[in-house]
């Protein structure tokens, strides 16, 4: 008998000799198992393809959710940035206004000091100061108004025979004068040096300058140069107070200018302070 069919390993029908069928049965069973394995692989492949499709849909859905989240975050940041920008602008404006108020207060304080000095006899030497240190502090006070001021001074102290308050008043007045007749974009230079028993301090600006015919009188009380200088508010006291302070401490003061629009340099000298004897 010969084999005509198998089902779950059972012979359905046979034809031909039994010995032939028995010999071929293992091969036929292997063929049947291979067929079932192939069908299982096909089914598994179909399942993997379906799972891949579902995973792709999930990834696409997640990508959409992430994009929506990014869009929402970008919108929130934009909405928050607008008020932050406004707050920053207000803070900057308030800072500038505060600086202006501080500058006005400093100017008022100088005016009161000058008025008192104008009515009182300025005393002589009350002590000694390091002109380099005091110049740095005066420059820091003037920079509050937004000015550009450089210092040219030696590394070692330059001790002058004058009290700290009077020296500060003297340098503040000269810096205020330089700022008054210069724009904030024009740098001012303060120089300090010492030679032959006296210290020299100068303030140089690049402002409107001083006509030569006025140089000899600008240290007079209430004197005003006129012309472009009249557009700048002032009482004409600051430079006269500077002259009185310098004279009371045994020094000299003068002004130099190459003319209108060429800037000015105000220079004063004071005796160097005597060193205290060694103990």
DSSP letter assigned to residue 127: -
Q: At what angle do helices 164-180 and 18-119 cross, to 10 degrees?
A: 110
Q: Which residue has the tokens 């932050």?
A: 84
How does residue 3 score in pLDDT terms, banded at 50, 70 and 90? very low
Mean pLDDT (whole number) for 73-86: 73
- Which pLDDT score, from 0 to 100, does residue 278 have? 46
Which region among 25-39, 118-132, 236-250 has the lowest average model confidence (pLDDT)?
Answer: 118-132
pLDDT in tens, 236-274: 688 998 999 999 999 999 999 988 888 999 999 999 997
Q: Is CATH 3.40.50.620 what the domain over 121-271 is classified as, yes or no?
A: no
Question: Is the model more confident about 134 or about 9?
Answer: 134
- Return d(Cα 178, Cα 181) in angstroms, integer: 6
Q: 37 versus 249: which is more confidently predicted?
A: 249
Structure-token pair, residue 197:
């028993």
Going from N- to C-terminal start, the domains of the chain cover 2-61, 121-271
Q: What is the largest CA-CA distance in the chain?
A: 149
d(CA 276, CA 279): 9
């Amino acid at each position: 008998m010969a084999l005509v069919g198998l089902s779950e390993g059972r012979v359905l029908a046979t034809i031909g000799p039994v010995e032939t069928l028995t010999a071929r049965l293992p091969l036929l069973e292997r063929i049947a198992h291979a067929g079932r394995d192939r069908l299982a692989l096909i089914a598994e492949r179909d399942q993997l393809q379906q799972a891949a499709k579902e995973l792709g849909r999930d990834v696409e859905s997640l990508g959409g959710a992430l994009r929506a989240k990014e869009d929402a975050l970008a919108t929130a940041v934009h909405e928050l940035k607008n008020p932050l920008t406004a707050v920053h602008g207000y803070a900057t404006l308030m800072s500038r206004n505060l600086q202006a108020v501080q500058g006005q207060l400093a100017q008022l304080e100088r005016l009161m000091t000058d008025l008192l000095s104008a009515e009182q006899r300025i005393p002589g030497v009350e002590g000694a100061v390091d002109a380099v240190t005091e110049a740095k502090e005066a420059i820091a006070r003037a920079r509050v108004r937004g000015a550009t001021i450089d210092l040219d001074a030696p590394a070692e102290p330059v001790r002058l025979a004058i009290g700290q308050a009077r020296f500060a008043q003297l340098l503040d007045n000269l810096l205020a004068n330089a700022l008054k007749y210069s724009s904030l974009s024009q740098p001012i230079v303060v120089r300090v040096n010492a030679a032959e028993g006296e210290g020299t301090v100068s303030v140089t600006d690049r402002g409107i300058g001083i006509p030569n015919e006025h140089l000899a009188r600008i240290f007079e009380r209430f004197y005003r140069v006129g012309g472009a200088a009249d557009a700048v508010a002032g009482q004409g006291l600051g430079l006269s107070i500077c002259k009185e302070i310098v004279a009371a401490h045994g020094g000299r003061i003068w002004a130099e200018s190459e003319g209108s629009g060429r800037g000015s340099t105000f220079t004063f000298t004071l005796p160097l302070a005597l060193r205290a004897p060694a103990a």
